[in-house]
Amino acid sequence: MLKVLKFGGTSVGTLERIQNVSQIIKKFRDQGHDIVAVVSAMSGETNKLIEYANNYSKTPDEREMDMLLSSGERVTSALLSITLNEQGYPTTSMSGREAGIRTTDEHTYARIEDIETKHMQKTIKDGKIIIVAGFQGVSAENGRVTTLGRGGSDLTAVALAGALEADVCEIYTDVDGIYTTDPRIEPKAKKLDKISYDEMLELASLGAKVLQNRSVEMAKKLNVNLVSRSSFTPEVEGTLITKEENIMEAPVVSGIALDKNQIRVGMYGVVDKPGIASSIFTALADANINVDMIVQTRGLDNTTNLDFTVPTTDLEKTKNVMVAFEADSDKIDYNDSICKVSIVGVGMKSHTGVASKAFTAMAKDNININIISTSEIKISMIIDEKYAELAVRSLHDAYQLDL
């Protein structure tokens, strides 16, 4: 069996933890498995390198940043390879280039175009463990080093698993699987044995931080079975992320997600004319601002009110864009004291009363809902941030997710 194992920054955060990771790899190797491991930079290393760069420039060249930031993962891969070789397990480290990962030319946020696996396949056939530096590749256009954005090592692991037709891709972090919600908020949160790609993709995009959403999207596309588990308790079974049809009895609701990194933008008394919404959201898109929830209500005076949400990190960019539309409305305001709480579950497709149960739970605790957005397997609500954790616990109880 070929296993692709990915170890995050906390899992390789110290020399002792790298040694611990080597024990996990050795155990699988002793069981007869072929191993390709993907590693992140040691925890804190990427932020330290960014600080170094900012010491010289607040807007450093993105190509140079890719060269700089990709070094963190190469350090980890080499150290892990060294410790395994010292223990008698033939191992080689590889950069993204050596692993054959070719990407687009978008520096700091490249996308993987293809992977040439011949070198890796020969190395595996020769009986070696491979340790790949995650988060990076090379531009197919000019051969320069590129990086894949935050969480890019997850993406590296899934892409390699798909290209090598691995039997499983295991993502090791500091938590032992996917929970019904954040256990720090709701101690009664329950670990899931299985969850579908679509549910995990929704949870990842709605605030759950266990897996990067691009990696889940790619796993679904390439039909890679993902397992989320902990490097600190490797003996504990993790959560399998797989196709929906592989889950015999899908629950109505699988999890509750909370995202506090949201800004509500309100435009009031907007001139109601054809094309106004198009011009606003085109301008936001041109500025690479990710707009999430949108609600428009038309008044009796031929004006309209428009509410939408953007990530907290895009607040200043959003304000700069919206200056051009101040003349088209009576008022524009920005509310950062809100959050988004969401319920996710493939079972929503075939069950009634899911939404009413959520709204009843909110009303019971006197939590006012400002904006509602739905899809086949998701209901998201914008509420005041002060009620965030209460809302999560209320919804968790309402759907009896601890049973």
Three-state secondary structure string covering the chain: CEEEEEECCCCCCCHHHHHHHHHHHHHHHHCCCEEEEEECCCCCHHHHHHHHHHCCCCCCCHHHHHHHHHHHHHHHHHHHHHHHHHCCCCEEEECCCCCCEEECCCCCCCCEEEECCHHHHHHHHCCCEEEEECCEEEECCCCCEEECCCCHHHHHHHHHHHHCCCCEEEEEECCCCCECCCCCCCCCCCECCEEEHHHHHHHHHCCCCCCCHHHHHHHHHHCCCEEEEECCCCCCCCEEEECHHHCCCCCCCCEEEEECCEEEEEEEEEECCCCHHHHHHHHHHHCCCCCCCEEEEECCCCEEEEEEEEEHHHHHHHHHHHHHHHHHCCEEEEECCEEEEEEECHHHHHCCCHHHHHHHHHHHCCCCCCEEEEECCEEEEEEEHHHHHHHHHHHHHHCCCCC
Confidence class for position 248, pLDDT limits 50, 70, 90: low
H-run or E-run covering 187: none
Distance CA 219, CA 222 (A): 5
Residue 299 has pLDDT above 80, yes or no: no
Residue 195 has pLDDT above 80, yes or no: yes
pLDDT value of position 174: 87
Q: What is the mean pLDDT of residues 333-360?
A: 92
pLDDT value of position 246: 67
Distance CA 202, CA 99 (A): 30
Residue 296 CB burial class (10 angstroms; 0-12, 13-18, ≥19): middle
Find out whether 44 and 13 touch, Cβ atoms under 8 Å: yes
H-run or E-run covering 373: strand 371-375
pLDDT value of position 250: 64
Strand order in the sheet with 112-115: 112-115, 101-103, 136-139, 145-147
> Percent of the chain beyond pLDDT 90?
80
Residue 87 has pLDDT above 70, yes or no: yes
If one compares 248 and 363, the residue with the highest pLDDT of the two is 363
Q: What is the mean pLDDT of residues 64-88?
A: 97
Q: What is the mean pLDDT of residues 185-209?
A: 87
pLDDT value of position 375: 87
Residue recorded with tokens 């939404």: 355
Confidence class for position 208, pLDDT limits 50, 70, 90: low
Q: Tell me if residue 138 falls in helix, strand or coil.
A: strand
Confidence class for position 320, pLDDT limits 50, 70, 90: very high
Q: Tell me if residue 26 falls in helix, strand or coil.
A: helix
Find out whether 264 and 370 touch, Cβ atoms under 8 Å: yes
DSSP state at residue 179: B
Mean pLDDT, the chain, rounded, equals 93
pLDDT value of position 139: 96
Residue 301 has pLDDT above 90, yes or no: no
E strands, 10-119, are 34-39, 91-94, 101-103, 112-115
Provide CATH code, domain 2-174.
3.40.1160.10
